[in-house]
Amino acid sequence: MIEVRGLTKRYGDVLAVDDLSFDVAPGTVTGFLGPNGAGKSTTMRMVLGLDRPTSGTALVNGRPFASLAEPLREVGALLDPGSVHPGRTGRSHLRIAARSNGIPQRRVDEVIDQVGLGRAARRRIRGYSLGMRQRLGIAAALLGNPRVLLFDEPVNGLDLDGVRWIRGLLRRLADEGRTVLVSSHLLSEMQQTADRLVVIGRGRLIADATTEEILRGLGNGRVRVRSSRSEELLAGLRDRGLAATRTDVDELEIEDGTAHDVGEVANALRIPLHHLSDVAQSLEDAYLALTGSSVQFAGSEPVAEVAR
């Protein structure tokens, strides 16, 4: 369990985290989302005792991280895969971490196999790709078999096989009853993986709800329907107050409606349907709707040159 209460962090005049409170419960994958500069990494660093809060508390299993006698046995974390000694081998890096936390050396080989480093564990880290460094960082997080895990952008640098592997790993860890907090900008991955989402912007909490609840916040959603009598169906839908538009010769799209609504209209008018489905809701759309006013670093479209 991770408990964040009134957490605030100032760097001079910059308010990085502003009175933030949320819980991360065992048995779930909690996605931690927010624009660049929202305070996600700062919050995770305070949970791990790497930064001191200006005010408020961050507790792991009811205690501050700094009070844990053997922290790797209780909390595993991947924050910065580059913060390792480049001259060491991957195996040496893990062996030192294990020895300093009273973890049996056999566990080193177990996590190397688990993350798929294999022979690369004998190579010096300076020769690792970003994906290999990520796998090494995940191995270090798993080393003490902890009940609480924090991952900051864990899929960066991973290929498709690696992305699928980390998705399965996060799900398995949560299914084992562990507490899993994951920060990521890959919203498609979060939509597939996260049970719950904590969304922040400019250091403040924007949303704390299940993924399903946040998607439902978009409204009833959209429906796509195809019929050889689409003109009649379009008129019938509009007569009943449904916002329908044509997307193809025989295809319509309905905003803020349900497949049930459309099917009932078609049935009443005795119009045959060749396709009827809800359009999948996008976490990206929900995220942009939630965080639009909290983006600090926004680009602009290039101005087209005037032809001379």
Q: Does residue 74 sit in helix, strand or coil?
A: helix
The amino acid at 95: R
pLDDT for res 186: 85
Instruction: Show which of 216, 242, 257 is a domain's final residue.
Output: 216
Residue segments in the chain with a per-residue pLDDT below the cut of 50? 306-308
Split into its structural domains, the chain has a count of 2
E strand or H helix at 187, and its extent? Answer: helix 187-193
The pLDDT tens digits for 87-143 are 999 999 999 999 988 899 999 999 999 999 999 999 999 999 999 999 999 999 999
Q: Domain range for residue 33?
A: 2-216
Beta bridge partners of 275: 226
CA dihedral 56, 62, 68, 70 (to 10 degrees): -140
Q: Crossing angle, helix 106-115 and helix 130-142, to 10 degrees?
A: 130
- Please indicate, yes or no, whether residues 86 and 185 belong to a single structural domain of this protein: yes
| pLDDT for residue 307 | 47
Which stretches of the chain are DSSP H helices? 40-47, 71-74, 90-100, 106-115, 130-142, 160-175, 187-193, 211-216, 230-239, 259-269, 283-291
CATH number at residue 178: 3.40.50.300
Tell me which residue has tokens 């459309």. 262
pLDDT at res. 83: 83
Tell me which amino acid residue 253 is: E
Predicted local distance difference test score (pLDDT) of residue 295: 60
Q: Are 16 and 39 in contact (CB under 8 A)?
A: yes
The SS3 of residue 191 is helix
For residues 250 and 153, state if they share a domain. Answer: no
Token pair belonging to 232: 């009649």
Q: Is residue 16 a part of any domain in this protein?
A: yes
Are both 171 and 231 inside the same structural domain?
Answer: no
CATH number for 249: 3.30.70
d(CA 126, CA 92): 13
Same domain, 38 and 153: yes
Q: Report how far residue 13's alpha carbon sits from residue 40's, in angstroms, rounded to the nearest whole number.
A: 18
Pick the closest to residue 93 from 107, 74, 108, 78 (CA basis). 108
The amino acid at residue 15 is L
The pTM score is 0.80
Residue type present at position 257: G
Can you give the pLDDT at residue 218? Answer: 54
- 203 with 132, same domain: the answer is yes
